[in-house]
Amino acid sequence: MDLGMLATRLLFGLQSELFRRSAEEGFDDLRPRHGAVLAHLDEDGLRQTDLTRLAGRPAGTSRPSVSPGAREGGHRY
């Protein structure tokens, strides 16, 4: 088996474990597509605009799902 296949299997194994443990902690609605955002979270949190930028998304793509208070800059994730 080549190195690329081994790395892919490792990635999928870690990802499966991460989402299994997240579900056990009550976050059972997380999916692999959320990884673009989760990869950037830290203890200090991030503003919605920063998360959107870091995920490589246009500014308007994540705003419809964010509460009005978060849009005003009052929330950190």
What pLDDT score was predicted for residue 62? 66
Domain layout of the chain by residue ranges? 1-30, 33-77
Q: Is the pLDDT of residue 74 over 60?
A: no
- Residue identified by tokens 């203890």 is 43
Mean pLDDT over the full length of the chain:
78
What pLDDT score was predicted for residue 1? 77
Left if phi > 0, otherwise alpha if psi is -120 to 50, otherwise beta: which for 46?
beta
Q: Is 69 or 37 the better-scoring residue by pLDDT?
A: 37
What pLDDT score was predicted for residue 25? 93
| pLDDT tens track for 9-37 | 998 998 889 889 989 999 888 887 887 77
Retrieve residue 43's tokens. 């203890």
